[in-house]
Structure 1
């Protein structure tokens, strides 16, 4: 575990370049089940595995990272989606690669507060991914699945921090909970010495993840409709993570709804109804 801030963003990138990525307990159970089915019948395919694991951003990230490493060494283009990565890896090699995955519950058994913090970020990411894919489909964006995946993975650096630097992330969380007026990036800079968004971009580049996925996760490119879809979905999920009646959500609601309405070309009232349906 990392218990003190590192001296630079390069040091953080080095720390996470090959760090273990634990997975959700449900992913562990599904892996055992599908491995048994594959050994008995040989009927498991990439789409089945992708549907089972696409809810787990940590597993999704690890598969994309693993396959991108192989692509880099062979000069091939990395696949942009989880299902494409599993197809490229192959069913047999996939199961061999994940013979002994680690559950977040085992990894963080001495840090229950970190487990809770991590699960909150994952829940937020899932909500963002649902918003993102629905907004993308409303726009008839052909990259809707990549946008959905980008929203799910958007805060992966925060997830990795909870896994490997739980005490530091608890400091960040405590400060933000004590004063909702604080900006996350300012607190991250104060406690960690870096912005987690900057760390995420540098790690994705270091891992040679697909350029389109990196672009969809880069808030600095938010002028592009595809990236803006991801950014607004993440923003909406973050502002409403404590419920729509939370004062923070109430304060952000008018701007969020107006921006989403402009993106998907709906009225504000229709946009609000759509968001409630998605989040229902």
Structure 2
């Protein structure tokens, strides 16, 4: 299964993605403003890999002038329906459909891993104005919460992938792994949580590419068992999902 196939798999569950995926806390956007030294209000922002517009909407709420860039047809359609006032263009981070020096900020919410940094970094620098910045972030799993770590390991075993280590990479390792060496990068982590129904939690898990590429019967097997396990731990049917947002900000040299 190629990375492109997994990236395109989101189109099969665009509505589920829009309804169940977590947003991002206000502190994340405060951090972007602090680390870039600029206000989001009035900034020209391209949100790359915008998906259904989760981050796009929050950037708009901060007063940014946002253009959403999304390769997937179904995801782009969800974004247009949710945010009719926002221009949505088809494209990806490796070949941005943006004019040179046209953006103050380029953002990648949960999407940088689908790019090739050898191409996406030069493309970002081409599209950024002088002193512009790119901001990359992920809602990552809070592995210090025991039930979340246990679930992560169950998912990895079921999907045939290697569980991520509990210890997170240091700043220099995170920058290297993201392919951002050579840029002036600052890292910040923001912890937050949300309380959701068990149904929404399972829908969120099911919207991940690792599950979307599996056949329906296999997915059903996992979620029947997972619902049973979580119902024992959360008998009231409400689940607190805890996240650690990992933010990397690179200001154009």
Query: Structure 1-normalised TM-score?
Result: 0.25
Q: Which has the larger share of strand?
A: 2
TM-score, length-normalised on structure 2?
A: 0.27
Counting helix residues as a fraction of each chain, which structure ranks higher? 1
